[in-house]
Structure 1
Amino acid sequence: MKKLNFKFKSLTMRIWATFTIIILIIIFSISFFYLVAFKAIDEKAKIQDLKVSHDFLITTKKFTEPNRFDELKNLRGSDYYIVHVDENNKTEIININKRRGLPPNVPNDPFSLNGSDVKLWMSSFITPGTLAEKQFKKSYKNIKFIFIISSVQYGDTGKSYLITYMPEMKENSLLYMMLIIGLVFIAIGFLTSKLVANYISKPLKELENYTVRIAHKDWKQPINIRNADEIGRLATSMNIMQKELKRADEEEKMFLQSISHDLKTPIMVIMSHAAAIIDGVYVESVEKNAEIIKDEALNLEKKVKQMLYFNTLDYVLENNICDIEINLHRLLFHIINRFKVINNNIKWELNIEEALIIGNVDKIQVSIENILDNSLRYAKEKISVTLKKEGDFAVIEIYNDGSNIPKEHLCHIFDNFYKDKTGNFGLGLAICKKIIKFYNGEIDAVNRDTGVSFLIKYRL
């Protein structure tokens, strides 16, 4: 059997359904309270009032004088009579205060057609001996009666008993009133839900239209924030998302422009020199042309590898299970020894202390090598590398004595596809930043009086 699905597409209907369910729960709870608690309290009060009237008759012994107890709210329909048992155990019903008609507001007399049967039935609960306000709550022909029996002095012979009784009247006016109030509240809830839904859905509709604009890369204007509530905070978050998407879109466009130029150039060089070899038209030797083709191909391969590495880096970092303890002192000397042979004219100054970190050796090595490669490219005569501990961090400073980085570019050099002053795009520094940030580290570039320092911080 398929599961019933009561989901509403309309926000108004969902709010109205919620209001209605809450109101119905309240109505049913009050009705239950009425049927259980209120009914018990009401019955207890009626028994107490019946007992008071019974005690009054016994105390005053005015059995033959009419009273108006049955006109009280809790004693509607009540009456009393004497049961006399003579020496021969013959029972006689004495209707001393027999009513003339029904009291006000009593809809039916449940025992008017055959009253003697009801009274004889109550008399059957009399037990031998003296009775003192013995209470009973019994049903006769589907009608519930509350009655009290006490021994009294009436007549010269035999035994007499006073029975005060009252049929249980069902009071449903409160229940009906609660149902009517519930229906009124459901109607009010529908109107209220409509107003609330319109109030909520209007800004949500604006956010929906704004989202569609973002999906179509329309960055012209942010959404207006009118309130500081949850919807206002959602609008703020969407404005932040719009800025980030706009920035990513601009970076993508810049990347496409850069890559189209930087990849096109080596391809054109390779094609022109290859055509020269085929046609036999070249300035120098075939070997020189082949060497140029090889260099450009290696340069092209390097750029393609960087792009592939950068695009898969997030996945590799998140799914990496090879984090181990790394001795930075040993790793730095291993990397520097490989870089020293690239340019013998560079002087290296080293001040490297012992420090241990946790991470993937290959990724940490890439983050340091990219900085050293960048420094070696711009260094004139000297590169210095220091490693020291500062608080919870191992701080690596890599300095080169090259030219300062212009201030307008200093804060962007770690961005994706940043172009250096030579006009070439690169991903090396962006890869460094991504690796270091993944391990909760920090990276920064600082201009010195002469040269530039790159500061890398890894948690110890």
Structure 2
Amino acid sequence: MKKKKLLHRIFVVPSFIVLFSLLAVFILFQIISDQYVKALTSDALKNEMDNIGSVTFFAESDDEDVEDTALIVPVMHLVIDAGGNLVSPTPPWYYDYEVKTASALAGIIADSPDAYKDSHHKLNVNDNFYLVQAGDYKGFIENGVFVPDNESKDSKDYYVLFYINITPMQKFIDRVNLVLMAALVLSGIGSIFFLFLTTRQANKDFEALKDYLISIGKKGRESLASPESNYSEIEAVITTVNEMSEMLAESENIQKRFFQNASHELKTPLMSIQGYAEGIKYHVIPKEEATDVILKESAKMADLINEILFLSKMEACEPEFEDVDISAIIAEVADNFRLMAKEKNINIICETKTASIVSADVKLIERLISNLLSNGIRYAKSEITLSCETSDKETIIKVSDDGDGIDKEDIPHIFERFYKGKGGKFGIGLSMASDIAKLHKGRLEVVSGENGTIFTLILPQISHTFSKNSLHF
């Protein structure tokens, strides 16, 4: 299916809306002006038709809806007998144009006189506009004037045509129409031109953004300079792209460091294993000494591989949350590490007497606590303390040791993946612990000094959204 172009749609649709709106305004003005003229003249025509032959004033009328404006509209009439002859008014007339107008009107209505009886019509006569309406009357002509009379024996049937000269009003309306049309055309052209310029500029900005994205995507080539736009929306997209580009660059650097560190960490024990294996083969190194080193380095490689596998599974799967007593988990993990700590004469103190229920993935939380304990055993002198406190909204878990503390230059980087501080193992454990905390909508903080280091895990006491995907190890 062929996709529509957004910019074309942005230009075409508003353009049609502008044109149709202007056309609607013009048509609406025509309707309103026509209704105004009819309203202004219809009462005058009706009054003249009802009161022909007598002098009346609207002020004396019983019709309260009659407007004063009808009084200033002069109404004239022509009387035609059954033979089609003009009988009133009779010559001489004051002006020649009255004769021409009367003759022209008589000629127009001669073909279909009944068409003008029911409602008024607008006629163009000698470049003048007239509103006309006719009616049948009985009466007689007296001194050139028609006198309506239905009772007199001398009364005859006459056809009376009433007309109003609306040329001044029509010319005014035509002039307004011309001005309005010019204004509408100019505003329409201006609006469409503005839309065209806007969409063209937006199209240029999008093209520049597209080229910029392509240049970023081409590895091994320098990207174009960051484009600029006068539109805040496009500028926001450019800013987001720049941030994303920096994140991608950082991710690539992390991957490079990962491969470098992983290769180095695997290469060192492999070389040791290879060297001691050759020593056994050529009877240079005693078997007991060689096997101890081979087992130690193999265990080191296994630990690194397990860390990498756990990390990849954690990133590929979504955690499965459930309500658990984190105090019990802390106590269980602490028991698992007591033998390792005892071998180094380190005492583990677990201060978790009160149950603390949180929503968590058990395997991930166990790994987080295990990484903190393992790190503490590596640096502690004699004691590691685990505690768990609960507030209204948070659960606070602390793992502290009495070691020499972390170097100040290492503290900002200890949660970075593959960053190894002094005495570090692989540079994965603490970064993994921080990631697990974030997955639980929490955070992992560290405070370190000469008297030891305290890692603080803060978890919210809120329900998480359960996921169908889970971790399987």
Q: Aligning the two structures, in what range does the TM-score lie when normalised by the shorter sequence? A: 0.7 to 0.9
Alpha-carbon contact 2:116-2:134 (below 8 Å) kept = no
Match of 1:273 among 260, 276, 284: 276
Give, in whole Å, the separation in 2 of the partners of 1:363 and 1:167.
95
After TM superposition, the structure 1 = structure 2 runs for residues 212-361 of structure 1, keeping only pairs within 5 Å, are: 212-216=214-218, 223=226, 229-277=232-280, 279-285=281-287, 287-317=288-318, 320=319, 322-344=320-342, 345-352=345-352, 353-361=354-362
Q: Which residue of 2 aligns with 1:459?
A: 460
Structure 2 residue identity aligned to 1:334: E
- 1:37–1:269 CA distance, 2 compared to 1 (3 A): farther
Is the partner of 2:261 in helix, strand or coil?
Answer: helix
Q: Which residue of 1 aligns with 2:194?
A: 192
| CA RMSD, 1 decimal | 4.2
Give, in whole Å, the separation in 1 of the partners of 2:359 and 2:3.
53
- Answering whether residue 29 of structure 2 is matched by residue 28 of structure 1, we say no
Give, in whole Å, the separation in 1 of the partners of 2:291 and 2:50.
128
Q: Which residue of 2 aligns with 1:67?
A: none
Alpha-carbon contact 2:322-2:360 (below 8 Å) kept = yes
Give, in whole Å, the separation in 2 of the partners of 1:59 and 1:310.
108
- 1:48–1:158 CA distance, 2 compared to 1 (3 A): same
- 1:335–1:37 CA distance, 2 compared to 1 (3 A): same
What displacement does 1:224 show? Answer: 7.4
CA shift digits 1:252-307 (9 cap, x unpaired)? 22222212211222222233333444x3334111x543443333233222222222
Q: Which residue of 2 aligns with 1:80?
A: 77
- Answering whether residue 110 of structure 2 is matched by residue 116 of structure 1, we say yes
- Answering whether residue 44 of structure 2 is matched by residue 43 of structure 1, we say no
- 1:303–1:222 CA distance, 2 compared to 1 (3 A): farther
- 1:216–1:116 CA distance, 2 compared to 1 (3 A): closer
List gaps (5 residues or longer) in structure 1: 62-73, 85-89, 126-135
Q: Which residue of 2 aligns with 1:383?
A: 384
Give, in whole Å, the separation in 2 of the partners of 1:425 and 1:52.
107
Give, in whole Å, the separation in 1 of the partners of 2:202 and 2:406.
51
Alpha-carbon contact 1:93-1:119 (below 8 Å) kept = no
Alpha-carbon contact 2:52-2:148 (below 8 Å) kept = no
CA shift digits 1:197-237 (9 cap, x unpaired)? 45445554544444344324678997476868333333333
- 1:192–1:368 CA distance, 2 compared to 1 (3 A): same
What displacement does 1:150 show? Answer: 8.6
Structure 1 residue identity aligned to 2:18: I
Instruction: Compare 450-459 and 114-123 and name the one that shifted more.
Output: 114-123
Is the partner of 2:423 in helix, strand or coil?
Answer: coil
- 1:6–1:363 CA distance, 2 compared to 1 (3 A): closer
- 1:50–1:266 CA distance, 2 compared to 1 (3 A): farther
- 1:97–1:378 CA distance, 2 compared to 1 (3 A): farther
Give, in whole Å, the separation in 2 of the partners of 1:450 and 1:20.
74
What displacement does 1:444 show? Answer: 0.6
Alpha-carbon contact 1:404-1:448 (below 8 Å) kept = yes
Structure 1 residue identity aligned to 2:348: W
Structure 1 residue identity aligned to 2:39: K
TM-score by length of 1: 0.74
- 1:6–1:444 CA distance, 2 compared to 1 (3 A): closer
CA shift digits 1:370-427 (9 cap, x unpaired)? 1111111221211011111234111111011122111121121111222122364322
List gaps (5 residues or longer) in structure 2: 57-71, 91-97, 124-129, 140-146, 462-473
Q: Which residue of 2 aligns with 1:444?
A: 445
Give, in whole Å, the separation in 2 of the partners of 1:138 and 1:203.
59
Structure 2 residue identity aligned to 1:299: K
Q: Which residue of 2 aligns with 1:64?
A: none
CA shift digits 1:167-200 (9 cap, x unpaired)? 9999988778766665545543454344334544
Give, in whole Å, the separation in 2 of the partners of 1:168 and 1:274.
119
Give, in whole Å, the separation in 2 of the partners of 1:79 and 1:392.
92
Match of 1:158 among 155, 159, 175: 155
Give, in whole Å, the separation in 1 of the partners of 2:255 and 2:284.
38
- 1:30–1:383 CA distance, 2 compared to 1 (3 A): same
Alpha-carbon contact 2:404-2:450 (below 8 Å) kept = no
Q: Which residue of 1 aligns with 2:99?
A: 100
